Structure 1
Amino acid sequence: MRAIWSGEVSFGLVSVPVKLYSATTSHDVTLHQVHDADGGRIRYQRRCEVCDEVIDYKNIDRAYDDGEKSVIITKDELSELPADESKEIAVEQFVPAEQIDSMVLDKSYYLQPAGKSAKAYVLLRRTLRDAERVAVVTFTLRSKTRLGVLRVRDDVIVLQGLRWADELREPDFDIPSSRVSAKERQMAESLVEAYSEDFDPERFTDEYQQQLQTLIEEKLESGEEIDTEATFGEPEDEDDSGDVVDLMEALKKSVDARRKRRAA
């Protein structure tokens, strides 16, 4: 693992030197775009619409357009913003974890103690555990001020990014009212009970990525033309009868099917 940031966690007058590591990675297979006629690689160029020249990245600035006029923001101006140079993860609050809406959770990072002593790191870890709370923090990463929480996972302090309050959208639609009978609620509870078990993330796999990898390996071995039915089997027929599903019957069948699977 390679550290992507280094700085310190500060709460009160206590400073904890840390290094930051990405805690997650994507398992998606990387694909690039090609011309369907001859397989030629599609490349993108940064071309100026005024002079029609291809522009080096070092000569590119940013701009903001409010619909009437545009202002250019230079690299020097961006680098001189006060938050850009911050190397501090500042603890702002300690709050109960249940007060953090899962809708605002973002990318996770591991914090590793930096320096010769880990005493301050261990103290912060112990404090978070004993308080049974998470620490709300602000920090700067890749020139952006961010909001996050510190929590403990096993023996490691994790920094999890949070979305700002104004980044959440309210649902702009109505949900029609519907009457649900006591029998339907009871059957739904039975279905929940039939599916209830401990969460095991290792049980779930990304079938699309697995099939994509199989397709790639088959084409690398056999050439461009392959028999997809022989590789993946025939696709299942979809029920397109358009019949309205009886909710009670669907619940009953679901409970029965789940119980048979668990018994097997």
Structure 2
Amino acid sequence: MRSIWKGAITFGLVNVPVKLYSATEDHDVSLHQVHDADGGRIRYQRRCEICGRVVDYEHIDKAYDDGDRTVVITGDDLKALPEEKSREIDVLEFVPSDQLDPIMFDRSYFLEPDGSSPKAYVLLRRTLEETDRTAIVHFSLRQKTRLAALRVRGDVLMLQTLLWDDEVREARFPALEKQTRITDKELDMSSSLVDSLSDDFEPADFSDDYQAELRQLIDAKLEEGESLDTDATFGESSDDADEGEGGEVIDLMEALRQSVEKNRSGGRRKPAKRAAARAGSSDDADDADDGDDTDDGESAPKKQAAKSPAARKPAAKASAKRPAAKASARKPAAKSEPVDEKPADGKSGPAKSVSAKSGAKKASAKKPTAKKAPARKSAEGERKAG
């Protein structure tokens, strides 16, 4: 960072030399204007209306016009003002920090101690921390007199410029002057919705999606040129779908109820925390699978396959089908009766059915040619006996 101002904080007889740095920066993609017909760059020129010439910046002065007369204010005139020459951040008073309305905050700056010893800087910082106070200061920067709040942020003193009292507008809207009745049930439901969305503020959980998509569009156009199909790349805009829904009258209680149910079911979690929750659940699953860390002789690929859900599902299906396979294997054995020939007298008894079953069991263990011959011999013996 580069300092933009050097001066000193003064309160009483204490003098704290400091350097001023911009605490924030703009992350928006820088775009310029071109002619849509040929892509030529559009530039704005500072052209004089009297002589018609383009005027360089060093030859431009400021002026004030009251309608009838014009007064020119040169750069030397501005430098001659006493406030512009001042290099002091003068402490006017110390106020409770909670008395500052956030609407008054404008720009933020960091203050770095400038000098051989930062003792006075650290002393002022510690004093503001211990007393929970904010210093209201007055200083000049870039040809403007400014009011600012001097407060502590971490280990650094921060200067936040404040809007003047007449720069903050008053909010007077006729709709707010009407008496509106809010029921206790509506208030309780609204409080439940607030509770379901309550969380600690983490700035890193949020991102500028528009700027990210704009950068993605620029990268895609650099690769594919003007033939890029933006609808296919980013999806169609939802503006047309939302058109006409603004005048729809909704049931406030029903909208609150659905919102509470949606958030309680986890349907409205921040992207960063949703990803963290997924990562945590996958880690827990891996820990559960790795309950036994001993080496059972399996190779690493097999263990990894056992951990993955895709590898576990077929095993479950196979185990479910195993009893059915056994049943199908038993059915043919019970139906197959190799000894099915009736005796000459046409009678059949229990003894033959038992021998037929035993013959079926033997047939499952022997070849077909070996099991028919004993069956014929037993049939011939019965005929001779008859």
User: Aligned match of 2:264 in 251, 259, 264?
Assistant: 259
TM-score (norm 1): 0.96
Q: CA RMSD in A?
A: 1.5
Mapping for residues 203-222 of structure 1, pairs under 5 Å? 203-222=205-224
Higher RCO structure (Cα 8 Å, ≥6 apart): 1
Report sequence identity in percent.
57
Q: Is residue 249 of structure 2 the alignment partner of residue 244 of structure 1?
A: yes
Mapping for residues 39-118 of structure 1, pairs under 5 Å? 39-118=39-118
TM-score (norm 2): 0.66
Question: For each residue in 1:24-69, what CA deviation from the matched residue of structure 2 results, as whole angstroms up to 9, or x when unmatched?
Answer: 0010000001111111000111111111111111111111112232
d(CA) in 1 for partners of 2:41, 2:195: 52
The residue type equivalent to 1:154 in the other structure is G
Q: Which residue of 1 aligns with 2:234?
A: 232
The residue type equivalent to 2:213 in the other structure is Q
| Structure with higher helix content | 2
Question: Following TM superposition, by how much is the alpha carbon of 1:136 offset from its aligned partner in structure 2, in angstroms?
Answer: 0.4
Question: For each residue in 1:77-107, what CA deviation from the matched residue of structure 2 results, as whole angstroms up to 9, or x when unmatched?
Answer: 1110111111111110100111111110011
d(CA) in 1 for partners of 2:189, 2:243: 24
Comparing 98-107 with 241-250, which one deviates more in the overlay? Answer: 241-250
| Structure with higher strand content | 1
Report the 3-state secondary structure (helix = DSSP H, G, I; strand = E; otherwise coil) of the residue aligned with 2:182. coil
Report the 3-state secondary structure (helix = DSSP H, G, I; strand = E; otherwise coil) of the residue aligned with 2:148. strand
Mapping for residues 8-23 of structure 1, pairs under 5 Å? 8-23=8-23
Q: Is residue 189 of structure 2 the alignment partner of residue 184 of structure 1?
A: no
Q: Which residue of 1 aligns with 2:351?
A: none
d(CA) in 1 for partners of 2:67, 2:151: 42
Question: For each residue in 1:127-185, what CA deviation from the matched residue of structure 2 results, as whole angstroms up to 9, or x when unmatched?
Answer: 11011010000111112110101111110010111011111111242223321111111
Unaligned runs of at least 5 residues, structure 1: none
Q: Which residue of 1 aligns with 2:124?
A: 124
Question: For each residue in 1:172-225, what CA deviation from the matched residue of structure 2 results, as whole angstroms up to 9, or x when unmatched?
Answer: 422233211111111001111111110011111111111110110100111022
Report the 3-state secondary structure (helix = DSSP H, G, I; strand = E; otherwise coil) of the residue aligned with 2:227. coil
Unaligned runs of at least 5 residues, structure 2: 275-386
Question: Following TM superposition, by how much is the alpha carbon of 1:114 offset from its aligned partner in structure 2, in angstroms?
Answer: 0.6
Comparing 249-258 with 223-232, which one deviates more in the overlay? Answer: 223-232
Question: Following TM superposition, by how much is the alpha carbon of 1:239 offset from its aligned partner in structure 2, in angstroms?
Answer: 6.3
d(CA) in 2 for partners of 1:40, 1:235: 29
